[in-house]
Structure 1
């Protein structure tokens, strides 16, 4: 599992929206240095995941809908990455020739343990803590958020 450019861009888009202001993709893209064609694609994934709302029209834009304290790095990785395993042999559809020949694979078992620990750890890292390690801004509230402040 590697944090890809797409995941990095998703975090940047959410960081731009942390102030709870309605912003269009051009503003977000310019502010966060995310190529516009990626920003459009990623924002749609973030909307489907329920992290942002996209309002269409001349006065539209994007708005954060979830509290950044409640979104983990693992949440973003799961939304952005089709394959979030550290190696392809952990994918359920992977057909391991070694396992097929010998009926077991110690390497697979060891890597599965690493994957489990890494996934569990990433699920403890909240986006707010990544974006604002020293406290940062405390906007009022994202609509639909479960806390009084971000």
Structure 2
């Protein structure tokens, strides 16, 4: 999993909504320097993951659907990119010609699985609220 620009911007969207009852997309974009088309795409994924709630109509907009005391970076990143792998060979759908070659498992693969697991644990370690309150 490389943290993509889309993942980074999703955190920005959540940060913009923090402490707000409801914001329009244009307000989110202005607060966090995100383009509107990109914000809509991100908000759609965050809404599908039930991280944000969308409101229609004249007074529409978006708000956080759950408290930041429950939400982690992992939750946001996985909402945007559910298949977060640091390298493609960790994807179960990927077929590596070197794994199992000569009857031996790929030892590099085994180490990368440990690295991936550690990264996931670190992303789950703190809530967004804990991160925001450190400042």
Above 0.5 in TM-score? yes
Partners of 2:100 and 2:106 within 8 A in 1: no
Find the residue that maps to 1:62 and give its secondary structure. strand
1:59 corresponds to 2:59: yes
CA distance in 2 between partners of 1:102 and 1:123 (Å): 37
The CA RMSD measured in Å over matched residues stands at 1.3
Map 1:11-22 to 2 at 5 A.
Answer: 11-22=11-22
Map 1:51-130 to 2 at 5 A.
Answer: 51-103=51-103, 104-130=105-131
Find the residue that maps to 2:99 and give its secondary structure. helix
CA distance in 1 between partners of 2:84 and 2:44 (Å): 19
What is the aligned residue count?
A: 134
Q: Scaled by the length of structure 2, what TM-score is found?
A: 0.92
Find the residue that maps to 1:53 and give its secondary structure. strand
Alignment-derived partner of residue 7 in structure 1: 7
CA distance in 2 between partners of 1:119 and 1:14 (Å): 19
Structure 1 residues 49-70: Cα deviation after superposition (integer angstroms, max 9, x where no partner): 1111100111111111111110
> What is the CA distance between 1:82 and its match in structure 2?
4.1
> What is the CA distance between 1:90 and its match in structure 2?
0.5
Find the residue that maps to 1:63 and give its secondary structure. strand
Q: Scaled by the length of structure 1, what TM-score is found?
A: 0.84
1:44 corresponds to 2:57: no
Q: Where does the alignment leave 5 or more consecutive residues of structure 2 unmatched?
A: none
